[in-house]
Copies of this chain bind each other. A is one copy, B any other.
Amino acid sequence: MKTYLKKDFPVSEIRRFLEPGPIVLLSSRWKEEQDVMTMGWHTVLEFSPSLIGCMITSSNHSFDLIRKSKECVINIPTVDLLETTVKIGNCSGTEVDKFAEFGLTAQTATKVKAPLIKECFANLECRLKDSKLVSSYNFFIFEVVKAHAPKTPKYPRTFHYTGDGVFMLSGEHVSKRKFFKSEYL
């Protein structure tokens, strides 16, 4: 598996990785237990503070760990991890240790106890900011308190889910900067 040389990355700029809508891996820890889950339902909500909204189905083992610890890490996998990510989403943390089962390396984070996944392109350390919509929609609002990403490549090659087992792989990047007002960049 690929690994990336990551540096500190400004938390106010993580839209670069999340706004295009990739499938992510959420890692969590509560006491001695850790888990990983696959997630596709998320949105950026604010630049500063850096806020992300995530819908986490309550039947996931991770749901409990995140609810209790009020923390998680959003990890951005690239296409070399596509099959692994699908397999992670199709088994339960109550049955298998997903880090061991899928050969993932849990690294110590800086500001949260949930582990970073070394093999992912970027790691976003998150603290629960608002749980007002958790009981009605399983919708968590997290603040990204620390981010890790490589300097290059600038854009990860991500995968995006369409349902029915089919993924869209990210394609080319094009700049339309000349059509933007400077205050909207």
Interface residues of A, Cβ cutoff 8 Å to B: 13, 15-17, 19-22, 40-46, 51, 53-55, 82-83, 86-87, 89-90, 130, 132-133, 136-137, 139, 141, 155, 160-181, 184-185
Q: Which residues does chain B contribute within 8 Å of A41, judged by CB atoms? A: 19, 43-45
How far is A174 from B170 in the complex, measured between Cα atoms in Å?
A: 11
- Known contacts A43-B42, A43-B43, A45-B41; is-contact A168 B86 (Cβ 8 Å): no
Contact across chains for B43 and A162 when beta carbons are under 8 A apart = no
Per DSSP, chain A at the interface is mixed
- Provide a sorted-by-A list of 5 A–B residue pairs whose CB atoms are within 8 angstroms: A15-B162, A15-B163, A19-B161, A43-B54, A165-B178
Nearest 10 A/B pairs, CB to CB: A21-B21, A171-B171, A165-B177, A20-B160, A43-B43, A86-B179, A169-B171, A86-B176, A16-B162, A165-B180
Q: Told that A165-B178, A165-B185 touch, could you supply 5 new A-B pairs with CB distance under 8 A?
A: A45-B139, A83-B176, A83-B179, A86-B180, A171-B172
How far is A43 from B133 in the complex, measured between Cα atoms in Å?
A: 14
